[in-house]
Amino acid sequence: MIGQGFAWLGPPGNVLSPLIILVVEDDDNDALLLRLAFSKAEVTDTIHFVRDGKGAIDYLSGLPPFDDRARHPLPSLLVLDLKMPVVNGFEVLDWLSKRHNLAQPFVVVLSGSESPCDIHRACTSGANRYITKPGSFEESVRVIRSLKEERSFHPGLIPPSLLPNQKWWPRPPSA
């Protein structure tokens, strides 16, 4: 049932379909916090976790062990950390920007960095949103609920006021 989870709003006239979420997070504690926040926010959609940017690229490319698209469908929402070993979040964004034949997910960068340089680079590299990592479990649940309430994930439609004390940066308009 879609009612409890996120949903992706397709072309006009299409019904809402369940959202496939791919979370890219290298820190086990942050990954656990996100799992619990998704659960507390009553997100019932399919959520896959990978530990680094290489795992994300392998998943998106359909490389083993992610080559079964029935078990590992392409995500509609990509939640991406930036500072990771092996392949970082910026490299994932760069890789995605060169894959014009790949259905582009809505990308939410969830990073501990508040550096204006990181924010600018992420947004100009293809991130649709930039959110600083919440400082508590309750704030994490609020972030997930705010995204859940939006339901369509079209750039520019999630007002910053939905998340008090959180910093959001929408993707800059295309030039």
Helix or strand holding residue 168 (H, E): strand 168-170
Q: Mind listing the pLDDT tens digit for each residue in 15-33?
A: 455 789 999 999 999 999 9
Give the pLDDT mean for 42-63. Answer: 95
Reduced to 3 states, what is the DSSP secondary structure of residue 89? helix
Distances in whole angstroms, Cα of residue 120 to Cα of each of 109, 126, 128, 161, 172? 12, 10, 12, 20, 9
pTM of the model: 0.79
Q: Give the per-residue pLDDT at 153.
A: 44
Q: Give the per-residue pLDDT at 4.
A: 38
Q: Give the per-residue pLDDT at 101.
A: 86
Compute the radius of gyration of the chain from its Cα atoms.
15
- 111 touches 122 (CB < 8 A): yes
**Interacting residues of 60 by C-beta distance below 8 A, sequence separation 6+:** 22, 74, 75, 96, 99, 102
Tokens of 169: 């940066």
| pLDDT exceeds 90 at position 92 | yes
Handedness of CA 29, 146, 108, 2 (dihedral sign): positive
Instruction: Give all domains of the chain, ordered by start, each with its CATH number.
Output: 2-8+18-170 (3.40.50.2300)
Owner of token pair 């259905």: 103
Q: Mind listing the pLDDT tens digit for each residue in 113-157?
A: 999 999 999 999 999 999 999 999 999 999 999 888 765 444 333
